[in-house]
């Protein structure tokens, strides 16, 4: 049989502004030389100024997208992004249990940088109880980690505690993104691996508004690297370096929270 080109899957929402969501995933996976496939869960009307509205897709067409992929493609790794609400989280969980799309990276998207909710409040518990236990990697930012672990994070010690709590929930490897600590001139992420090893990933803070789509780009890069067969640690380290480069060398698109520079 002919060798298949490496394929990865993004299960996410569309950002019409092109900077985040499914669009960021597609660009990132392509840039990592992996073929990107998609299950679209929701469609946002959005630009760099914010999210105006969104609709979540009918669970039937979500099921059908999963089935179509499973019936033909050979997907080696997958990720979730914006999942909108309880119905869509449950639909995605059901399909991830039914089919094997390789290691799952969960980016537990909750609120856009402009403040728009991308996941309903009542869906947080479903993400915690049903989706996280399926995850090989989870990449929460601080507010997301706080909600999922039901604790407040004051300092770097708390980031270690929250990572352990998320591992107890069932996530194998946790990357807690510390970018929301506003006082720091460093952006430090804490990584806790399945075997108990842990490390910090630091980068000097960049003073920019062009950070739209950082979480999506990071988790998509990790997914692409896992699809290639990289170890979780290598995939996370590559993801961090990749996002750091796209933030540092900004491009001007729109008038608000601009997108990353994917040519950096
Ligand atoms: N829109 C969609 C569809 C997303 O999935 C995300 C993040 O995952 C965002 C917007 C928000 O991106 P950011 O918070 O980086 O602005």
Nearest residue (by CA) to ligand 1, atom 7, is 21
In a domain, 255, yes or no: no
Token representation of residue 218: 């990071």
User: 86 is written with which tokens?
Assistant: 């309880």
In a domain, 244, yes or no: yes
Tokens encoding 55: 């609709």
228 backbone φψ class: left, alpha, beta (φ>0; ψ -120 to 50): alpha
**What CATH number corresponds to the domain at position 82?**
3.40.1190.20
Which residues of the chain fall below pLDDT 50? none
In whole angstroms, how large is the CA radius of gyration of the chain?
A: 17
Alpha-carbon distance of 51 to 67, in angstroms, equals 30
Distance CA 168, CA 183 (A): 30
For residue 75, give the H/E element and its range: strand 75-80
pLDDT number for residue 248: 84
Q: Which residue has the least CA distance to atom 11 on ligand 1?
A: 112
Within-domain flag for 236: yes
Closest CA to 141 of 216, 222, 194, 207: 216
Report the number of distinct structural domains present in the chain: 1
Residue 258 lies in a domain: no
Complete DSSP assignment for 172-241? SEEEEE-TT-TT-SEEEEEEE-TTS-EEEEEEE----S--BTHHHHHHHHHHHHHHTT--HHHHHHHHHH
pLDDT of residue 264: 80
Nearest Cα residue to 35 out of 214, 212, 220? 220
Block residue for tokens 């479903």: 126
Q: Is 79 in the pocket of ligand 1 (CB under 6 A)?
A: no
Ligand 1 center from residue 1 Cα (angstroms): 39
Nearest atom in ligand 1 to 257's CA: 16
Out of 15, 56, 211, 247, give the residue to mutate to test ligand 1, the one with the largest number of ligand atoms within 8 Å of its CB. 15
Say if 68 falls within a structural domain: yes
Give pLDDT, residue 109.
97
Question: Could you tell which of 117, 118, 142 is best to mutate to test the pocket of ligand 1, judged by most ligand atoms within 8 Å of the CB?
Answer: 118
Q: Report the separation in Å between the CA atom of 20 and the middle of ligand 1, taken as the mean of its atom positions.
A: 5
Q: CB of 215 closer than 6 A to ligand 1?
A: yes
ipTM computed for the complex = 0.93
For ligand 1, is residue 113 a contact (CB within 6 Å)?
A: yes
In whole angstroms, what is the distance from residue 169 CA to residue 70 CA? Answer: 28
Tell whether 2 is covered by a domain. no
Cα separations in angstroms, 120 against 151, 208, 241: 19, 29, 31
Residue range(s) defining the domain that contains residue 206: 7-248
Is 257 inside a domain boundary? Answer: no
Q: Does ligand 1 come within 6 angstroms of the Cβ of 257?
A: yes
d(CA 128, CA 71): 29
Q: Which atom of ligand 1 is nearest to the CA of 216?
A: 8
Torsion from C-alpha of 228, 190, 207, 118, nearest 10 degrees: 70
Other beta carbons less than 10 A from residue 209's beta carbon = 12
């Amino acid at each position: 049989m002919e060798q298949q080109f490496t394929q990865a899957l993004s299960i996410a929402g569309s950002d019409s502004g092109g900077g985040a969501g499914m669009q960021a995933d597609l660009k990132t996976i392509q840039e990592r030389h992996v073929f990107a496939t998609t299950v679209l869960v929701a469609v946002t009307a959005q630009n760099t100024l914010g999210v105006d509205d969104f609709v979540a897709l009918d669970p039937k067409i979500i099921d059908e997208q999963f089935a179509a992929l499973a019936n033909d493609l050979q997907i080696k790794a997958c990720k979730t992004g914006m999942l909108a609400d309880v119905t869509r989280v449950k639909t995605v969980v059901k399909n991830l249990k039914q089919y094997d799309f390789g290691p799952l990276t969960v980016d537990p998207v909750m609120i856009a940088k402009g403040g728009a909710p991308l996941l309903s409040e009542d869906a947080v518990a479903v993400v915690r109880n049903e989706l996280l236990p399926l995850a090989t990697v989870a990449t929460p930012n601080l507010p997301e980690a706080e909600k999922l672990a039901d604790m407040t994070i004051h300092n770097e010690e708390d980031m270690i505690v929250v990572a352990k709590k998320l591992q107890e929930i069932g996530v194998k490897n946790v990357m807690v993104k510390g970018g929301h600590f506003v006082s720091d001139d460093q952006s430090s992420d804490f990584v806790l691996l399945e075997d108990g090893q842990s490390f910090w990933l630091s980068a000097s803070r960049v003073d920019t508004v062009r950070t739209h789509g950082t979480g999506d780009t990071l988790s998509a890069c990790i997914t692409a690297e896992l699809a290639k067969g990289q170890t979780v640690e290598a995939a996370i380290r590559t993801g961090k370096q990749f996002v750091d480069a796209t933030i540092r060398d900004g491009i001007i698109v729109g008038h608000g929270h601009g997108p990353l520079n994917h040519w950096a």
